[in-house]
Amino acid sequence: MIHSLFLINSSSDIFLEKHWKSVISRSVCDYFFEVQEKAGEAENVPPVIHAGHHYLINIYREKIFFVSVIQSEVPPLFVIEFLHHVAETFQDYFGECSESAIKDNVVIVYELLEEMLDNGFPLATESNILKELIKPPNILRSVVNSITGSCNVGETLPTGQLSTIPWRRAGVKYTNNEAYFDVVEEIDAILDKTGSVVFAEIQGVIDACVNLTGMPDLTLSFMNPRLLDDVSFHPCVRFKRWESERVLSFIPPDGNFRLLSYHVSAQNLVAIPIYVKQNISFFETGSSGRLDITVGPKQTMGKTVEAVFVTINMPKVVLSANLTATQGNYTYNPVTKTLVWDIGKLSQQKLPNLKGSLTLQCGAPKPEESPSLNIDLKIQQLAISGLKVNRLDMYGEKYKPFKGVKYVSKAGKFQCMAITIWLYIFTNKENSHLKC
Amino acid sequence: MTPMQKLLQLPVNAVNIVKTVQAQAQEEARSPVLTPDSIQQNWYSAVQPEELRNLKVAGTGGGDSEERAPLEEGVTSAQTQPLRHDDLKEMLDSNKDSLKLEAMKRIVAMIARGKNASDLFPAVVKNVACKNIEVKKLVYVYLVRYAEEQQDLALLSISTFQRGLKDPNQLIRASALRVLSSIRVTIIVPIMMLAIKEAASDMSPYVRKTAAHAIPKLYSLDPEQKDQLIEVIEKLLADKTTLVAGSVVMAFEEVCPERIDLIHKNYRKLCNLLIDVEEWGQVVIINMLTRYARTQFLNPNVNESLLEESGEKAFYGSDDEEGKEEKAEAAALAKRKPYVMDPDHRLLLRNTKPLLQSRNAAVVMAVAQLYFHLAPKAEVGVIAKALVRLMRSHSEVQYVVLQNVATMTIKRRGMFEPYLKSFYIRSTDPTQIKILKLEVLTNLANETNISTILREFQTYIKSMDKDFVAATIQAIGRCATNIGEVRDTCLNGLVQLLSNRDELVVAESVVVIKKLLQMQPEQHSDIIKHMAKLTDNIQVPMARASILWLIGEYCEHVPKIAPDVLRKMAKTFTNEEDIVKLQIINLAAKLYLTNSKQTKLLTQYVLNLAKYDQNYDIRDRARFIRQLIVPTDKSGALSKYAKKLFLALKPAPVLESPFKDRDHFQLGSLSHLLNAKAGGYQELPDWPETAPDPSVRNVEVPEWTKCSSREKRKEKKVEKPFYSDSEEESGPTESADSESDSASGSGSGSESEESGSGSESEESREESESEQEDKEDEEDKRKKKKKTDRGKVKAPAVESPESEESSGAEEKNRAQKVKGRRSGSESESEEEEESESESSRSESESESESESDTDAKKKKKAPVTKPPPKQAKKESKKEKKEMSLLDLDDFEPTPSPQVTPVNNFLSSSLVTDLEGLSLTDTVMAPTTIAPSGSVKTYELLHRITGEGLGVEYCFSRQPFSPDAHMVAVQIMFTNNTNAETKNLHVEDPKLQSGMRIKEFPEIELLPPGEMVTVVMGIDFCDSTQAANFQLCTHIRKFFVSIQPPVGELMMPVFMTENEFKKEQGQLMGMNEISEKLTLGEKCQNEHGIVQRVTSAANVSRVPCGSDKECRFAGKTVSSGILVLVTVATKEERAAQLTVNCEKMVIGTMLVKDILQALTQ
């Protein structure tokens, strides 16, 4: 399936290649470079490129292009998912999936790739199995290795590959038995200029960190499982139990994993935790503009909204911004034309406000579009959908684990759109006839 | 020693061999030019210990070697390269593992960077026996990479792996097989083949998995081994572990995807294992099973497949247009074979559904495409939610998913409509995602949501991303062409855009406006004028060309401006782009033809300019046009037609989605994404006409077969050879076949028992179809019967002459019918024709009836009548007639059709009586009873809410003459006010898609206190969904809705007892609903039952031999689907109600209604 893999950095250097079948010349990447040049920005490179007798399927992660070469029909998502999995494995092993990390650990990377694919077909992709086969590097181990000459490759055999629960290795031992669950919710919303909601939904995940001895069998139940509209599970979750009882029953993998990601049903109204009043206008003459933004809390259920960032992508003609913020501070990057306002905590009493003037390029026409605002925020100890974990039970093992649940709400793709004047004309014209 | 280390232990002598060979190779490797090498090596070995230690310390991390890389590259002299490699060779030869490891690490790093390390092969390969695992692994990496280039040397490592294959530890066996099969050396093909065969029957599933992985490797190395490999695949396919399943299916797909027959026996197992297979395997298996199912099962949407364009999701709407004339034939064809889903097909759908919840996008997509290609229309909807969820994933995943969603939305728009907002575009999306989302939004646009979509589009127009804006404008254009209601709005909006500052936006708008204007140019000459003015400013060639074309095409709408534009363009002609020049010539030619007085000189001038243009296309065009339009003495015959040529009416362009018709590629595949067939793509086969034998999927030991009784039944059959022989075919065809068998059997059988035996055999088949019964004795009985039937049927061709001789004409007839059925066509249509002729007769009779009742009475052949109701009817009819006549007198302008149906109503029911009587071919007394005269009326508008206007409606139960597929609804208006009500008419119907309304003609005047009756037709599409519309008077509008009871959605069908049984036989299983009941007080006798049933549903009685049973038949008005009702009475007041109908929903609702009617 996957014939070869090339890793390409942002300056179009192929810094790693791996072939699972016969060797394919790296000149095949020329097709990719051609398309890349045409696309301009990295994110606009189409994931699938037809390159002569080959097909290139690529992903872009952490400023690296993972370009895989395919020779025959294969589901593109299969390859894309696999490449992302590779990137995640690197992340898992080296803490980051950057070019330097990969270059520093090129041998481990190569060993990993060797294990993950056999003849282009995924073999061992579960991180637990891989970690048994190839130990992740850490400082202590690399020191020891350099002195003793011992190696990173595990001495044991990957028994996990043989078991029916490949995600968990046998014989796990911990002195502190802990299980932590993080319920993280992201609000995706589009607000219009008046602050009313055009579209809003909540996407959530439950990330778990389970360090438990032996083979625990966990059951996690919710106070209000009906909230979860659309869910996708880690393979360890027993689907039938969920279908019938709406509880999560599973033998957890060891360590960190994503137990569940969900979507909160659309019927439940999404509480938008903040409101934004914005007014960005540009004057016809004098090449300047005015900006006035106020942010305030709304429906936060008694929790404070933290780490509020407002990011605005300004039109190209905006040269600089001269603003005053009543809270937090702002930066304007004249190269990327982005204005970032770091507000911090939102308080009920004093509403943060950013106000001032914008300088435009002289002589340039006034920009037609008013820019949209992207908002980042965080609320601790609250799942904005109201999801609550009821209890966690453990079967199969005797000890008592320490259990913890944490809730965080974040802004996902939270955007305030500007309504345009065209809209008004447009709707108005529906009835009146054009005079020409 | 760990087991891993054992793996690659070479026998001592093997190592020696390697060493000597390596020495030779080394010598060979040195080129004569580089003789100093040897000296250097000596020097190296002299200082070896310290030097190497330093080297080692310096080079612990991969990073160091990386740092050196540029250095190495920078020098690039042939002299340094071998030197470095010598140093590595030295390290590999040393006794210390740490040195070896370091060397191997550097070599691997070289490989990773794509540098050639092939000359180290001899030095590396002997380390295959190294005890250190990491070294060994890295040696494997090296070996797999370079073995192909150095085949002879690679052979030396083989014995190590061969030993590994015999190791007691399964992981070592697997690992040895894996490396062995990865070495692409043709010479070892036999060894690999042997190893794979052995491993395929290994005890450990992990080794078997590895064997499965090795199969495609060997196949790509030597395709000649295919046959042997297929044997191994066949063996592995039978494996029962989840570990192997994914890998072997992968091998199957790569080696022999055409051998679909290998899957049969493993189909059910694969379905059941699927959920436990690892993610990647799931994808492969699901994709393979999609193809398999396409070859083995029948199309679940067979009834709808011809009507798919409607893009309808609702269960009801599924065959909404079936009634249309051109589709009637298809519908009849579909009806002939009632669809019963194969349980194996159901199994697949059921077992893949949970996988929609997978975290792996590829799995979700695989299931989605499976459902899209295989599931009945009503069930496809479940995938929408999961696909929308994937939109949250990485942008690459989004890209692929959106491509597929775009294709799906064309076929099944309804599926994604609830998720419209999820496709809204964010300013942070990459352009390619934006454009795909736009595509989906455009596909989803329909009358109801167009306003929201357009509003959304308006914000997009303002985006900074100009490519995206251009795409949005095109999308608006497409919405405008598809949805007529918003065309003007869109057009005006686009005209607004013409004053946009951005030229690209203007240009794109011009192009789209041009396309839109082409649809209705007459009304928009002002827009054309406006655009003509734009020629001064717009510089984009495409836009200029579009404007010129428009002006030329519609020059008669802008007679004054057009010559002026030409004048301007002539001035700038030389500076224009080619595409614009061509359009200028075009414009000149058109103007010359329409307005030669003003433009003659201009045209000449332009043509002269063009004559000397650099572009030969333009020169050609100019020459051609000159000959064509300018009259000269020797101008050819064509010039006469110049006007016709240039000013012909051009069809408006159809703005189509680029994703149209992409679904012939399997969704989710690479080929679909590229819209071109990729190498190795397996076409998704079309559904078979008839289902292949499902028994091939039976397995001897049905361990994992959950699928119930049907299968058990089959297994029994397998045990009984004779039996299975007689039922080679199953499913729908089975029923059809045995149908004809039994019929012909009865036909050739003894005459006296003819009908009896026929019914008996049919009953027996009933039993065989009902899946619960598998008692032994019944089984036996059935078997006997089948045997007898079978015996009779054998060689029908031989027997038929005999039967013709012996039996009467009727039988001959029957035999012919049977033959027709055999040939797989017509029989139904015959029946259809019959019923049609019946209905036509009934119509004609009804006419005559309305003339005189006595005539009709004479026609009656059978003596049994029901005089009292007749009398009543007559009276009531007279009354009504009088009334309507009165109405007629009062309102001359009211067209007659409104009134005549009232006349027809009762008479037609009379005729139904006649029909039932005259057509019954049996001797028994015809006891058909007309539907009771009391027709239930429903309130449409109460007179209080209607402010004095009261409206009632009833279902008059006669065919609606303007459209046979509509239900006739009789509406009675009563004006209770003191004022006149004027202009009563229907407005703004809001219908479920597919439904249609034929409005009644406007009632111009309704005087106070008067009442008027009209008839309107509604095509409910066989659904009980209400038809909503507005009832308007000259002052007010009322929202009203008509909801039909299910019984009114059908019309009577006349059939004989045998026909009834035949049809009922085809509508078994899922299509049959029975309910036990206790009869109510008033309907204990036959008469009561008949009355109740016919009042609950518009069906007609079918004559029946037994007095314990009452049978009724009808068909739905809209799609003509047969509805059969049987009420069997038992002791006391117990009875059983059975409804057979292909549409389960109709069946269920009808059962409920009739049940209620009977139990009251």
Ranking A99-103, B955-959, B988-992, B1070-1074 by mean pLDDT, the lowest is: B988-992
A41 to chain B, closest Cα gap in Å: 9
Neighbours of B33 (CB within 10 A): 9
For residue B358, the chain A residues in CB contact (below 8 A) are 232-233, 235
Ranking A361-370, B12-21, B135-144, B999-1008 by mean pLDDT, the lowest is: B12-21
- The radius of gyration of chain A from alpha carbons, rounded to an integer in Å, stands at 26
- Mean pLDDT, residues B899-912: 41
- Mean pLDDT, residues B887-893: 40
A352 to chain B, closest Cα gap in Å: 25
The Cα–Cα gap between B586 and B591 comes to 9
Assign 3-class secondary structure to B1047-1092.
Answer: HHHEEECCCCHHHHHHHHHHCCHHHEEEEEEECCHHHCCHHHHHHH
B762 to chain A, closest Cα gap in Å: 42
Q: What is the pLDDT of residues A104-143, one digit of tens each?
A: 888 888 888 988 888 888 888 888 778 877 877 766 666 6
Q: Do A111 and B500 touch (CB under 8 A)?
A: no
Question: What is the model's pLDDT at position B150?
Answer: 82
Question: What is the model's pLDDT at position B401?
Answer: 93
B486 to chain A, closest Cα gap in Å: 9
Beta strands in B498-606 (DSSP E): none
Q: Do A70 and B674 touch (CB under 8 A)?
A: no
Q: Do B137 and A22 touch (CB under 8 A)?
A: no
Nearest-by-Cβ selection for A44 from B431, B527, B679: B431
> In Å, what is the CA distance from A374 to each residue of A186, A202, A335, A368, B512?
14, 16, 18, 19, 33
For residue A60, the chain B residues in CB contact (below 8 A) are 395-396
CB contact, 8 Å: A419 with chain B?
yes
Instruction: Find, among B232, B238, B198, B235, the residue nearest to B216 by Cα.
Output: B232
For residue B216, the chain A residues in CB contact (below 8 A) are 119, 121
CB contact, 8 Å: B668 with chain A?
yes
For residue A72, the chain B residues in CB contact (below 8 A) are 678-681
Stretch 98-157 of chain A: residues touching chain B, C-beta under 8 Å: 103-111, 114, 118-119, 121-123, 125, 142, 145-146, 148-149, 151-153, 155-157
CB contact, 8 Å: A34 with chain B?
no
Q: What is the pLDDT of residues B963-984, one digit of tens each?
A: 777 888 888 888 887 777 778 8
Q: What is the pLDDT of residues A50-66, one digit of tens each?
A: 888 889 999 998 889 99
What confidence category does residue B742 fall into, taking pLDDT thresholds of 50, 70 and 90? Answer: very low
CB contact, 8 Å: A338 with chain B?
no
Q: pLDDT at residue B838 above 70?
A: no
Q: What is the pLDDT of residues B713-723, one digit of tens each?
A: 444 433 333 33
Nearest-by-Cβ selection for A77 from B181, B501, B668: B668
- Mean pLDDT, residues B11-40: 44
| CA angle centred on A357, ends A352 and A361, rounded to 5° | 140
Highest mean pLDDT among A344-358, B42-56, B780-794, B883-897: A344-358
For residue A106, the chain B residues in CB contact (below 8 A) are 62, 65-66, 108-109, 112
- Mean pLDDT, chain A, integer: 79
CB contact, 8 Å: B681 with chain A?
yes
More confident residue, B970 or B840: B970
Is there a contact between B373 and B667 (Cβ–Cβ < 8 Å)?
yes
- Mean pLDDT, residues A348-373: 78
Question: What is the model's pLDDT at position B594?
Answer: 84
Q: What is the pLDDT of residues B1048-1062, one digit of tens each?
A: 888 888 787 788 888
For residue A229, the chain B residues in CB contact (below 8 A) are 385
Ranking B79-88, B411-420, B574-583, B601-610 by mean pLDDT, the lowest is: B79-88
- In degrees and rounded to multiples of 5, residue A65 shows phi and psi of -95, 125
Q: Do A419 and B459 touch (CB under 8 A)?
A: yes
For residue B137, the chain A residues in CB contact (below 8 A) are 111, 114, 153
- Give the predicted TM-score (pTM) of the model: 0.63
- Mean pLDDT, residues B1058-1077: 80
Instruction: Find, among B1031, B1029, B1026, B987, the residue nearest to B1006 by Cα.
Output: B1031
> In the block, which residue shows the tokens 């599933």?
B205
Question: What is the model's pLDDT at position A6?
Answer: 92
Q: What is the pLDDT of residues A71-90, one digit of tens each?
A: 888 999 999 999 999 998 99
Question: What is the model's pLDDT at position A78?
Answer: 92
For residue B127, the chain A residues in CB contact (below 8 A) are none
Question: What is the model's pLDDT at position A172?
Answer: 77
Q: Do B458 and A59 touch (CB under 8 A)?
A: no
Q: pLDDT at residue B18 above 60?
A: no
B715 to chain A, closest Cα gap in Å: 30
Q: pLDDT at residue B269 above 80?
A: yes
Instruction: Find, among A378, A388, A409, A380, the residue nearest to A228 by Cα.
Output: A388
Is there a contact between A344 and A306 (Cβ–Cβ < 8 Å)?
yes
| CA angle centred on B165, ends B160 and B170, rounded to 5° | 125
Question: What is the model's pLDDT at position B370?
Answer: 92
- Mean pLDDT, residues B1136-1158: 83
Question: What is the model's pLDDT at position A87?
Answer: 92
ipTM: 0.85
Beta strands in B911-966 (DSSP E): 937-941, 949-955
Q: What percentage of chain A carries pLDDT values higher than 90?
A: 7
Question: What is the model's pLDDT at position A417?
Answer: 60
Burial class (CB in 10 A: 0-12, 13-18, 19+), B1117: buried
Nearest-by-Cβ selection for B389 from A47, A76, A232: A232
- Mean pLDDT, chain B, integer: 71
For residue B60, the chain A residues in CB contact (below 8 A) are 142, 145-146
Neighbours of A199 (CB within 10 A): 19
The Cα–Cα gap between B468 and B461 comes to 8
Is there a contact between A258 and A398 (Cβ–Cβ < 8 Å)?
no
CB contact, 8 Å: A60 with chain B?
yes
Q: Hey, is B998 helix, strand or coil?
A: strand
Q: What is the pLDDT of residues A89-102, one digit of tens each?
A: 998 888 888 888 88
Tokens of B1100: 């007609």
CB contact, 8 Å: B85 with chain A?
no
Tokens of B234: 């066949």
Query: Of all residues in chain A, what percent are helix, strand and coil, respectively (each to 5)?
Result: 20, 40, 35
Q: What is the pLDDT of residues B569-627, one digit of tens each?
A: 888 888 888 888 888 988 888 888 887 788 888 888 888 888 888 888 889 888 888 88
The Cα–Cα gap between B55 and B98 comes to 12
Nearest-by-Cβ selection for A84 from B394, B428, B432: B394
Q: Do B679 and A73 touch (CB under 8 A)?
A: yes
Highest mean pLDDT among B439-443, B732-736, B866-870: B439-443
A234 to chain B, closest Cα gap in Å: 6
Which chain B residue is nearest to residue A315, measuring alpha carbons? B464
More confident residue, B210 or A161: B210
Mutate to test the interface with B, among A25, A232, A242 (most CBs of B within 10 A): A232
CB contact, 8 Å: B463 with chain A?
yes
Q: Do A110 and B141 touch (CB under 8 A)?
A: yes
Q: pLDDT at residue B843 above 70?
A: no
More confident residue, B1156 or B919: B1156
Ranking A323-327, A392-396, B215-219, B812-816 by mean pLDDT, the lowest is: B812-816
Instruction: Give me the long-range contacts of B121-124 (CB less than 8 A, separation at least 24).
Output: B121/B25, B121/B146, B121/B149, B121/B150, B121/B153, B121/B154, B122/B18, B122/B21, B122/B22, B122/B25, B122/B26, B122/B29, B122/B153, B123/B22, B123/B26, B123/B88, B123/B89, B123/B92, B123/B93, B124/B92
B418: CB partners within 8 A, 6+ apart: B384
A400 to chain B, closest Cα gap in Å: 30
What confidence category does residue B566 fall into, taking pLDDT thresholds of 50, 70 and 90? Answer: confident
Q: What is the pLDDT of residues A234-288, one digit of tens each?
A: 888 888 888 888 888 888 888 888 888 888 765 556 677 788 888 887 776 667 7
CB contact, 8 Å: A424 with chain B?
no
Q: What is the pLDDT of residues B509-529, one digit of tens each?
A: 888 888 887 777 667 777 788
Q: pLDDT at residue A214 above 80?
A: yes
